[in-house]
Amino acid sequence: MARPIVPILLFVTAGLALLSGGCREGAGVPASAGTVVVYTALDQVYSEPILKAFEERTGIRVEVVYDAESAKTTGLVNRLIARRDRPDCDVWWNNEPIQTARLAERGLLEKYESPAAARIPAAMRDPQGRWTGFAARMRVLIYNTNIVKDGARPAGLEALVAPEWRGKAAIARPFFGTTLTHLCVLYQAWGPERLKAYLLALRANDVALAAGNGPVRDLVAAGEYALGLTDTDDAYAALREGKPVAVLVPDAGAGAILMPNTVAVVAGCPHREAARRLIDYLLSAEVERRLAEGPSAQIPLGTDLADVPTPWGNLLRTKAMDVDFVRAAADVEKVVALLQETGMDR
Amino acid sequence: MSAHYNQPDPVSMETLRLRGAGVPLSGGGRLFGVTAEALAILALVPLAAAVVGSLGVVGPTGGYVYWWGTARGWESLARTMAVAAPAGAMAVLMAWVLVASAVHLSPRWAVGIVMAACLPLLVPSSLLATAWIVALGREGLITGWLRQVAGDCPVVLYTIPGAAAVTALRYFGIAALVLLHARLRREGEWPASRVAAIPPVSAAWHLELRADARPALAAWLLVTLFSMNDPIIPGMLLVSTYGTQVLIQYSALLNPAGAAALAAPMAAVGAALMAATVLAGRDLWFAPSEPPAPVRRPRGLFGRLLAALAAAVVLALALAVPAAVLVARTESPAAIVRALADARDQAWQTLYVASAGAAIATAAAAMLAHHWVAQNRAGARTAVPLVLLNLTVPPSLLGIGMIALFQGAPTAVRDSAVPLVLGYAVRFLPVATLLLYALWRREPPDALLAARVHGVPAWRAAWTVTWLPRRAAVAGAALLAALFMATDLETSIFLAPAGGSTLGVRLYTLIHTAPDASVAALALGILALTVPAILLLAAVAALGRKEGARGA
């Protein structure tokens, strides 16, 4: 016979351990001016140094939720929506505008017109002051120059459904991130029927679905696939490393798709003052310059940074597409339904 | 001698007296038993919450009919099994070669080799997938070498067989454990075959291959079960399994009910696989608790060398190749230190949540295992084995259930590490429970009673008879659970709080965004952090064996 002294002792110890550390101060606890909680969809490698710099400069502790690449942006958006009654997040820093506009339309973002936002063109700011854009990226078609020779250079999005590239093209899973943004813009430009036909053609052409834009770049750079859709910051990493890749703007007939980062204060957030200080910092010329000159080579939007060189000179000559982000945000659910209907969730 | 036999045994007499009086002779009394049963049921609450939630589908798509009334769910299941079943077969093949070779050395070597085969279980899936992409991707190190030697690389990693092979390399240690266990149990049969002069071919057929069939089937089922619940490796190799679709439902469509409606039948498949495993290996699991003492087989030097070579090849493939390519991709040792310094917040968080989760899981497991053993000896039924379900179901299902349970909790709790810690505890409770049950069922049943009969004070008996022989088992279970928790990814993705990311999540995020060199440096850093825990586990196991031998 053995008495259960071991389990009972262990239980008491474990309970004390959990109680001592489990309920830490942070999100949801009484507001402290010394903390700000950020959800960010910008790649951790780019956003982390900037947030650390803010932390060091102000002494405000920054608690961050980065997204996993496979659930880019959307996972965080849905986490915000799910917690709308009792938000744990103060600052929403997105790497694209449509999901931000979607949050704004649902009343999850509060108005804050940062003094630092004056340097950003009005077209990149929410007319109602709920979010502000900065430091943009472009959607690009990346191709492997060892596989795609000059004569066969893809012209645009049609290359992904062309028979000669059957089974040789890749895109990120289109339910997430800038790929979803891209499809929402195409929905606006093409209408539902043409987009549906395009999605069916993608499936018929065995286009691979990667976990994100970074993996698309890696697959194309490694020669696993010949071409794919990605963002300029991802493409730049391969170009910088001297990989055999080149990029072009996949013109959908209306110009290049320019996607700014967006920042906003979350409605009802627990640390409002700290949130505003962080947003002022993120919208500063210093941060935009840092993002432009850094490894993500983002495109500065501030009127005071027109002289900052970018590696995208040629691409920027393509006229930027005139996108109504608020309208595109209203189409997200229709696009998701189309994706399911066409079997892109398999 | 005869006089001695005629004397009444005082322990037996006391046992008979207490039994006659209706006093329970094992377990901790009625209250303890009820508490243990309640705890077993409580551990299943997150799973139940997810299943119940799956019935309340939001919107027109994503429910049971959407998945299982059409081809969608079945296609998803078929794709998942197309990876998992071959992964199980490859794992069993590798494990069989390893074990069949290792037992030719010595039982101690065999155990050591099989433990080494289990090491990939203690690193994140994403780390292993990264290593193999670095090794055998189009621009991989081995691919480049093969191109130089043979003109091309015959292996294409981004395929279902590629995904199955990498998955097999992570889980084949489980198969090796099952096969070794079976081998050690019947080692004593070999001398009999030699005495009976059975021809070597017949002996090999009947005593090796045929005898291995059932354990191999059990091992295949078990590895298939673990492989089907791992969406990370196939996902990184562009093979979509049901785990990817669960994530799309949950994250992109904000439809946890739809995610659970896909995952819940998969959980039933997992439970069926587990039941089949139990049936296939019933001779192993339900055999007498003490295996026969292994007998070292007399083999010539050449035979032992050949066996050592075969085992070395399998281990090199599973361990040395991934480690070597990560080392080759890392710029310098300083890069590893830098990667760990950058990840120190996540490292501390991982240490905290894994320690707290392991403490809770082990405490609960100790209670459950103690009760399970007692019920088993009394021939009574118990709900404790049901907690094994938590290991057979998709981790995403437990994550969804846990989120549902904490939805109404105070924000200070909901947004803290508590859901993650409890999520870990629930997920890995079966590991600790099984380990403790397996060890404690071998204990002499009436040791404490004997102490009582001989007048040992209760506190002293509790310390020397109950705690001391069990401390190594408890420490081992806690360490093993902590290691599994520290390398978990899926539960962490679902439940990690703001500012509370873990090392596994950091690695998984960086894999998609950071250069290979940074990822390799962090992966090696994680390996370096894991090594002391593994060494500690080995030391605890050695201590346990020593104390067990002393007790015997």
Alpha carbons B79 and A234: distance in angstroms, whole number: 30
A165 CA to chain B: closest CA distance, Å? 17
Question: A57-61, A197-201, A299-303, B138-142: lowest mean pLDDT where?
Answer: B138-142
* Close Cβ partners of A345 (under 8 Å, ≥ 6 residues apart): A175, A339, B245, B248
Using an 8 Å CB-CB cutoff, list chain A residues near B367: 4, 7-8, 11
Q: Is residue B296 part of a domain?
A: yes
Q: Which amino acid is at B456?
A: V
In the three-class reduction of DSSP (H, G, I as helix; E, B as strand; rest coil), residue B457 is classed as: coil
Binary contact (A14, B362; C-beta < 8 A): yes
Q: pTM of the predicted model, to two decimals? A: 0.80
| H helix runs in B281-415, sequence order | 282-285, 301-315, 321-329, 333-342, 344-378, 389-392, 395-406, 411-414
CA-based nearest residue in chain B for residue A237: B515
Alpha carbons B303 and B476: distance in angstroms, whole number: 35
Binary contact (B72, A346; C-beta < 8 A): yes
Q: Does B513 contact chain A (CB < 8 Å)?
A: yes
Contact A212, A71 (CB under 8 A): no
pLDDT tens track for B188-232: 555 555 556 667 677 667 667 777 888 999 999 999 999 999 988
CA-based nearest residue in chain B for residue A9: B363
Rounded alpha-carbon distances, angstroms, from residue B57 to A261, B75, B263, B265 = 33, 21, 13, 15
Interface probe, candidates B377, B479, B512, B522, chain A, greatest A C-beta count within 10 A? B512
Q: Does B24 contact chain A (CB < 8 Å)?
A: yes
Q: Is residue B12 part of a domain?
A: no
Q: Which CATH superfamily does the domain covering A32-136+260-310 fall into?
A: Periplasmic binding protein-like II (3.40.190.10)
For residue B549, the model assigns a pLDDT of: 62
Closest residue by Cα to residue B418 from A14, A10, A37: A14
Closest residue by Cα to residue A38 from A261, A257, A196: A261
Clarify whether residues B293 and B382 are in a common domain: no
Contact B496, B425 (CB under 8 A): no
- Rounded mean pLDDT, A121-138: 92
Burial of A116 (0-12, 13-18, 19+ CB in 10 A): buried
| pLDDT band per the 50, 70, 90 thresholds, residue A184 | very high
Closest residue by Cα to residue A221 from B54, B438, B140, B507: B140
Clarify whether residues B48 and B191 are in a common domain: no
Clarify whether residues B214 and B293 are in a common domain: yes
Closest CB from B367, B509, B515 relative to A69:
B509
Clarify whether residues B282 and B345 are in a common domain: no
Residues 142-201 of A with CB under 8 A from B: 170, 173, 175-176, 180
Buried b (16+ CB within 10 A) or exposed e, B378-412: eeeebbbbebbbbbbbbbbbbbbbbbbbbeeeebb
Clarify whether residues B190 and B278 are in a common domain: yes
CA-based nearest residue in chain A for residue B73: A346
Clarify whether residues B292 and B341 are in a common domain: no
Q: Which amino acid is at B86?
A: P
Q: Which range among A10-24, A89-103, B290-304, B448-462 has the greatest average pLDDT?
A: A89-103
- Beta-bridged to residue A66, according to DSSP, are A40
Of B297, B323, B349, the position where a domain reaches its end is B323
Clarify whether residues B298 and B378 are in a common domain: no
Alpha carbons B297 and A202: distance in angstroms, whole number: 61
Q: Does B394 contact chain A (CB < 8 Å)?
A: no
Residues 264-323 of B with CB under 8 A from A: none
Residues 92-121 of A with CB under 8 A from B: none
Using an 8 Å CB-CB cutoff, list chain B residues near A334: none
Residues 518-537 of B with CB under 8 A from A: 518
**To 5 degrees, how large is the angle CA B86–CA B91–CA B96?**
130
Clarify whether residues B301 and B336 are in a common domain: no
Contact A37, B498 (CB under 8 A): yes
Averaged over successive runs of 10 residues, the pLDDT of chain B (552 residues) comes to: 50 56 56 92 95 74 82 92 96 93 83 90 85 81 80 78 94 93 70 62 70 90 94 88 85 80 92 92 67 55 84 90 88 90 91 95 94 88 93 88 88 87 96 91 74 75 77 91 90 81 85 81 89 86 73 51
Instruction: Evaluate whether A32-136+260-310 and A137-257+332-341 have a shared fold.
Output: yes
Clarify whether residues B453 and B504 are in a common domain: yes
Q: Is residue B22 part of a domain?
A: no
pLDDT tens track for A227-284: 999 999 999 989 988 999 999 888 656 678 889 999 999 999 999 999 999 999 999 9
Q: Are strands A169-172 and A227-231 parallel, antiparallel or unpaired?
A: parallel
Q: Does B343 contact chain A (CB < 8 Å)?
A: no
pLDDT tens track for B532-542: 888 888 888 88
Q: Which amino acid is at B397?
A: L
Number of structural domains, chain B? 2
Residue A109 CA to its chain's centroid (Å): 17
Clarify whether residues B286 and B334 are in a common domain: no
Closest CB from A18, A27, A170 relative to B498:
A27
CATH code of residue B82: 1.10.3720.10
- Which carries the bigger pLDDT value, residue B156 or residue A58? A58
| H helix runs in B281-343, sequence order | 282-285, 301-315, 321-329, 333-342
For residue B86, the model assigns a pLDDT of: 97
When the candidates are 2.40.50.140, 3.90.1150.10, 3.40.190.10, 3.30.70.890, the CATH number that belongs to A137-257+332-341 is: 3.40.190.10
Clarify whether residues B498 and B431 are in a common domain: yes
B5 CA to chain A: closest CA distance, Å? 24
Domain that holds residue B113: 70-323
**How many other β-carbons are positioned within 10 Å of the β-carbon of residue B31?**
9
Rounded alpha-carbon distances, angstroms, from residue A75 to B50, B128, B210, B254 = 19, 25, 50, 8
Q: Is residue B20 part of a domain?
A: no
Binary contact (B24, A1; C-beta < 8 A): yes
Q: Are strands A109-110 and A258-266 parallel, antiparallel or unpaired?
A: antiparallel
Clarify whether residues B304 and B351 are in a common domain: no
Binary contact (A75, B26; C-beta < 8 A): no
Listed by start position, the domains of chain A span 32-136+260-310, 137-257+332-341
Binary contact (A223, B72; C-beta < 8 A): no
Of B305, B323, B341, the position where a domain reaches its end is B323
Q: Does B466 contact chain A (CB < 8 Å)?
A: yes
| pLDDT band per the 50, 70, 90 thresholds, residue A2 | very low
Buried b (16+ CB within 10 A) or exposed e, B279-299: ebbeebeeeeeebeebeebee
Q: Is residue B176 part of a domain?
A: yes
